[in-house]
Structure 1
Amino acid sequence: MLEILILFLALGIVAGLLAGTLGLGGGVVIVPALLMIFPLMDFPAAITAQLAVATSLATIAATSISAILTHQGLGAVRWPVALPISAGILLGAFAGAFFASAISSAMLGRLFGIFAMLIAVQMALSSGRLANGENERLPGRGALALAGSAIGTVSAMFGIGGGSLTVPFLSACGMRMQQAVAISAVCGLPIAVGGGIGFVVAGWHHPELPNGSLGFVYLPAAAGIVLTSFPLARLGARLAHRLPATTLKRIFAGALFLIGLKLVL
Structure 2
Amino acid sequence: MLAVSPMELFELAAVVVAAGAISGLLAGLFGIGGGAVMVPVFYQLLGVIGVDESVRMHVAVATSTGVILPTSLRSYFAHKARGAVDMELLRGWVVWVPLGVILATALAAFISSEGLRAIFAVIALVLAARMLLNRDSWRLGTALPGNPGRAIFGSVLGFLSTLMGIGGGVINNTFMTLYGRSMHQAVATSSGVGVLISIPATIGYIVAGWGRPELPPFSLGFVNAVGVALLIPVSLWVTPYGVRLAHALSRRKLEILFGLFLISVSIKFGWSLL
Report the TM-score range of the alignment, normalised by the length of the smaller protein.
over 0.9
In structure 2, C-alpha distance between the alignment counterparts of 1:75 and 1:24, rounded to whole Å = 18
Instruction: Look up the match of 1:239.
Output: 245
Q: Post-superposition shift, 1:259?
A: 2.7
Aligned counterpart, 1:145: 151
Q: TM-score, normalised by structure 2?
A: 0.90
In the alignment of these two chains, the number of paired residues is 262
SS in 2 for 1:211: coil
- The worse-fitting range, judged by mean Cα deviation, of 52-61 and 115-124 is 115-124
The AA in structure 1 aligned to 2:56 is: T
Amino acid at match of 2:112: S
- Counterpart CA distance in 2 for 1:85 and 1:172 is 18
Corresponding position of 1:57: 65
The residue type paired with residue 17 of structure 2 is L
Q: Could you tell me which of 84, 89, 95 is aligned with 1:87?
A: 95
Contact map agreement 1:39 1:45 (CA 8 A) in 2: yes
Query: What is the deviation of 1:142?
Result: 4.1
Shift of 1:38: 0.8
CA–CA distance in structure 2, aligned partners of residues 148 and 90 of structure 1: 9
Percentage of pairs with the same residue? 34
Q: How does 1:123-134 map to 2 (within 5 A)?
A: 123-126=131-134, 129=136
Of residues 31, 34, 46, the one that matches 1:26 is: 34
Report the AA paired with residue 82 of structure 1.
Answer: L
Which of 171, 174, 192 does residue 177 from structure 2 map onto?
A: 171
Per-residue deviation, residues 10-61 of structure 1 (Å, max 9, x unmatched): 1111111111111122111111111111101111111000000001111110
**Could you tell me how far 1:87 is from its partner in structure 2?**
2.5
Is 1:86–1:148's contact at 8 Å kept on the other side of the alignment? no
Alignment partner, residue 6 of structure 2: none
Report matched runs for 1:1-265 at 5 Å: 1-126=9-134, 129=136, 136-265=142-271
User: Which whole-Å CA distance do the structure 1 matches of 2:216 and 2:125 have between them?
Assistant: 30
1:86 touches 1:186 (CA, 8 Å); kept in 2? no
- Deviates most, 205-214 or 136-145: 136-145
Unpaired runs of 5+ residues, structure 1, are none
In structure 1, what residue type is equivalent to 2:189? I
Is the Cα contact below 8 Å between 1:56 and 1:160 reproduced in 2?
yes
8 Å contact from structure 1 (residues 19, 67) kept in 2 = yes
C-alpha displacement at 1:241, in angstroms? 1.6
**CA RMSD across the alignment:** 1.9
Structure 1 length normalisation: TM-score?
A: 0.92
Q: Distance in 1 between matches of 2:152 and 2:257?
A: 31
Secondary structure (helix, strand or coil) at the match of 1:38 reads helix
Q: Which amino acid aligns with 1:245?
A: R
AA matched with 2:231: I
Distance in structure 2 (CA, Å) of the matches to 1:149 and 1:179:
21
Do the aligned residues in 2 keep the contact of 1:85 with 1:147 (CA within 8 Å)?
Answer: no
3-state SS, counterpart of residue 24 of structure 1? coil
Please state how far the C-alpha of 1:141 moved relative to its aligned partner: 4.9
| 1:95-147, Cα deviation, whole Å (9 max, x unpaired) | 11222221111221232122222222122122x5399xxx8412225432221
C-alpha distance 147-228 of structure 1, shift in aligned 2 (>3 A): same
User: Unaligned stretches of 5+ in structure 2?
Assistant: 1-8
* Structure 1 stretches of at least 4 aligned residues deviating more than 4 Å after TM superposition: none
